[in-house]
Amino acid sequence: MEEINKIIDQLFKERWCGYLADADIEEKRAQLYKTLKNQTDGYWSGHTAYHLAVEGGFLIDAKSNTHKKLTALGELFMNDYKNKLIK
């Protein structure tokens, strides 16, 4: 997961305005998880969050108001995040 954390950290530094740009990796992971969960459940998550997930390779772009699908990287991230929540 170290490589995924590097990707997440870089995405937030390059694309996010505000405190999350410089936040610790766990806060960034929590935001990405929330974004991916919202999108796959059919909810909007905000322009920056959405495009960060798509351009980062975690989420497949699709029309508004639809349930989005995760990429293989997105699935890997979500499974890892959920497993850490359970522990």
Please state the pTM of the whole predicted model. Answer: 0.92
Question: How many residues are given for the chain?
Answer: 87
Comparison of pLDDT for 86 and 39, the residue scoring more: 39
* Structure token digits, residue 80: 């890892």
Return the exposure string of 29-63: e unless at least 16 CB atoms fall within 10 Å of the residue's CB, then b.
bebbbebbebbeeeeebeeebbebbbebebbeeee
Mean pLDDT of 45-70: 93
Which H or E run contains 1? none
* Close Cβ partners of 84 (under 8 Å, ≥ 6 residues apart): none
pLDDT bin (cut points 50, 70, 90) of residue 64 is confident
> Where do the structural domains in the chain lie, given as residue ranges?
2-86
pLDDT at 73 over 90: yes
